[in-house]
C-alpha cells in the first residue's frame, strides 16, 4: 500500500486510442509517450497501447527510445527531440529513427553509420512557423543535396509542428504552416525522395483537420483523455463530431493526520492563512516535490469521500493541509483524490490549470516520475 500513487485506467486509454484511430483516416498511428507519457508512465502506457496494436511510438530523448526498443523489438520508435552526436552509434545499433535539423548532424550520422556499414533512419524536421528546432525552407535544398551524398542514411520521414492549431477561432496561421510544409514535401519529391512517413498532425489536428493527417499522426494529449484546448472541445461539440475522450489518470494520496484547530490558527509556512472558524484539518503526505504545484496554495481543491475540500495554507515540499470540516467521516489513511473522479465530483487537469494560469499538459507531465503507477 502506497501513500501517494497514480492510477492508469487501461480501458479509458484503449477507448481514446480507438477514438483517435477512427478519426485518423488510415494514417499510421504514433503514440506520443514523451515526458513519461505525459506523466502517466511510459512503460505502462506503451504496454497498453501495444496490446491494442499500436506499433509506433514517439519520444523526446534517446534513453526512452532504447527502453522501448527493449520492450518492443520490431516497433517503430521515433526520437522527436535532440540527440547528442556522441550517442548516434547507440541509436543506429538499436534501429531508432532520429529527427535531424542541422547539416552537421547529417554529416556526423553518416560517418557513424558508415563505420558499421549500417543504415541510419532519419526524419527531417521542417521549420514552418513555430521557431523551434527545424530546417528553414531556404536551407532545405542544401540538406537534400547532403542527403544524396550520404549513402548510409535513409530518409524515412518529414515532419513539422503547428504553433497554434488549438486556436480554432482562427486557423489562418496553421493553414500557412501546412502550406509551407506541403511546399517542403514537394521539394523532396523534386529531388526524388519519397519518405514513407509524412507527419504534422498533433492531437488537435487529428480531431479537426483531416487534410493534415499525411501518412502518420502523432497522438499526444488527447490520447490521455485531455482536450488540447477548451476551444477544440467546444468545436467538436458544435460540429457534432463523434469523439468522447476519457481521462486516463487519477492521482491519489492518503490522510496522514486529522486534527481540530481553533479559530484564528495560522496554517503552514508564512502563516498566509488563518482559520476563520474552528475547523477540522487533514494533513496529506504530498507536496510540490511530488508535482502538486505550490501555486495551488489556498486555492486548490481535492476530493475526500466525494466532497470537495480546500487546500489550506501553503503547499509544502512533502506535505499539504486541507479543510475537511464538511466531510461527515474522516479517518487516518483515508484515500484522497488529487486528480480524478470521486463520487459525483471531479478534479480535472483542466480545472487545476485554470486556477494557476497554465495548461493541463503541465499539470500531468510534472507529476513526479518516481511515484508508483498502477494500471487498473
Residues with catalytic function: 34, 269
- The Cα 34–Cα 40 span in angstroms is 10
> Contact at 8 Å (CB) between 165 and 218?
no
Cell of residue 308, nine digits: 470537495
Are the CB atoms for 38 and 224 separated by under 8 Å? yes
Per the CB < 8 A criterion, the answer to whether 49 and 68 are in contact is no
Sign, CA torsion 254/353/219/23: positive
Contacts of 68 (CB under 8 A, 6+ apart): 33, 42, 46, 57, 59, 75, 77
Q: What 3 state SS string does 112-168 have?
A: HHHHCCCCEEEEEEECCCCCCCCECHHHHHHHHHHHHCCCCEEEEEEECCCCCCCCC
Is residue 340 within 8 Å of 346, Cβ to Cβ? Answer: yes
Instruction: Give the residue carrying C-alpha cell 493541463.
Output: 360
Q: Which three cell numbers stand for residue 286?
A: 504530498
Q: Which residues of 58-74 are buried (b: 16+ CB within 10 A; e: fewer)?
A: bbbbbebbbebbeebee
Residue 283 and residue 319 in contact, taking contact as beta carbons nearer than 8 Å: yes
Q: What is the DSSP-derived secondary structure letter of residue 201?
A: B
Closest alpha carbon to 302 in 278, 277, 281: 281
Amino acid at each position: 500500500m502506497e501513500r501517494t500513487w497514480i492510477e492508469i485506467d487501461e480501458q479509458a486509454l484503449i477507448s481514446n486510442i480507438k477514438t483517435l484511430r477512427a478519426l485518423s483516416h488510415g494514417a499510421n498511428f504514433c503514440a506520443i509517450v514523451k515526458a513519461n507519457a505525459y506523466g502517466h508512465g511510459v512503460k505502462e502506457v506503451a504496454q497498453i497501447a501495444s496490446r491494442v496494436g499500436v506499433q509506433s511510438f514517439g519520444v523526446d530523448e534517446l534513453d526512452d527510445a532504447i527502453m522501448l526498443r527493449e520492450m518492443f523489438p520490431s516497433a517503430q520508435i521515433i526520437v522527436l527531440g535532440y540527440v547528442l552526436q556522441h550517442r548516434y552509434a547507440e541509436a543506429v545499433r538499436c534501429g531508432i529513427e532520429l529527427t535531424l535539423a542541422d547539416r552537421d548532424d547529417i554529416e556526423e550520422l553518416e560517418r557513424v553509420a558508415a563505420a558499421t556499414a549500417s543504415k541510419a533512419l532519419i526524419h527531417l524536421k521542417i521549420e514552418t512557423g513555430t521557431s523551434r528546432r527545424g530546417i528553414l525552407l531556404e536551407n532545405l535544398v542544401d540538406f537534400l543535396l547532403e542527403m544524396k551524398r550520404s549513402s548510409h542514411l535513409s530518409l524515412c520521414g518529414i515532419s513539422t509542428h503547428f504553433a497554434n492549431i488549438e486556436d480554432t477561432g482562427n486557423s489562418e496561421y496553421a493553414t500557412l504552416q501546412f502550406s509551407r510544409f506541403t511546399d517542403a514535401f514537394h521539394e523532396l519529391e523534386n529531388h526524388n525522395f519519397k519518405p514513407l512517413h509524412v507527419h504534422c498532425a498533433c492531437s488537435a489536428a487529428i480531431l479537426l483537420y483531416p487534410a493534415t493527417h499525411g501518412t502518420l499522426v502523432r497522438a499526444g494529449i488527447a490520447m490521455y483523455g485531455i482536450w488540447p484546448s477548451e476551444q477544440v472541445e467546444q468545436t467538436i461539440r458544435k460540429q457534432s463530431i463523434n469523439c468522447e475522450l476519457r481521462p486516463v489518470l487519477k492521482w491519489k494520496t492518503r490522510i496522514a493526520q486529522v486534527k481540530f484547530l481553533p479559530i484564528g490558527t495560522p496554517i503552514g509556512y508564512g502563516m498566509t492563512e488563518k482559520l476563520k472558524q474552528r475547523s477540522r484539518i487533514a494533513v496529506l503526505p504530498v507536496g510540490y516535490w511530488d508535482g502538486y504545484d505550490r501555486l495551488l496554495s489556498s486555492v486548490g481543491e481535492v476530493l475526500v469521500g466525494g466532497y470537495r475540500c480546500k487546500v489550506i495554507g501553503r503547499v509544502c515540499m512533502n506535505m499539504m493541509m486541507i479543510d475537511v470540516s464538511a466531510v461527515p467521516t474522516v479517518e487516518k489513511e483515508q484515500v484522497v483524490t488529487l486528480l480524478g473522479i470521486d463520487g459525483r465530483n471531479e478534479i480535472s487537469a483542466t480545472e487545476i490549470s485554470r486556477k494557476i494560469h497554465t495548461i493541463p499538459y503541465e499539470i500531468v507531465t510534472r507529476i513526479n516520475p518516481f511515484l508508483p503507477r498502477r494500471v487498473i
